Structure 1
Amino acid sequence: MSHLSGLPEEHDEPRVVLERTIRLVEDELRGAPVDDVLTRLRAELPDDLDVPEHNLRAAAEAIAEGRREDGSQG
């Protein structure tokens, strides 16, 4: 992701891109249904990014439950 604009950069590792995408959508989607969060995460991530499904689902569940990436409630 571009460190200034928040957009993906080709050289970022999948984990970094996923973490930035989570931060991008978590405030907006906190408390939303898991499937809605999962759909949005997939839409925001680059098509060629290989992120394991269980990682995406875990992130979506955390956002839906109102947990932040660091484990705190937000």
Structure 2
Amino acid sequence: MSRRLTTLLVLLLVLAAAGTSGCSYRERVCSSGEHPVRTVDPSDAGLACAPDGEEPPPGYEDFPAGEAPEYVDDVY
């Protein structure tokens, strides 16, 4: 077997193992330079992102300290 074919097969095996290893990508709620804010209305579970250092848009408020979700699947 040629060196190139062996390298290709090893690479494919590594990629296949990584895909089935249970590792997953977790999507962040907001982009870099932003923080999550929630709607003021308690009956609405809305979420938005506001630029760091700025006030939330009208109808939104900051999360209490330590309660802001970091990833999409976090419960808040």
Which bin holds the TM-score, normalised by the shorter protein?
under 0.3
**Normalized per residue, which structure has more helix?**
1
TM-score between both structures, scaled by the size of structure 1:
0.20
TM-score between both structures, scaled by the size of structure 2:
0.20
> Whose relative contact order is higher, 1 or 2, with alpha carbons under 8 Å and at least 6 apart?
1
**Normalized per residue, which structure has more strand?**
2
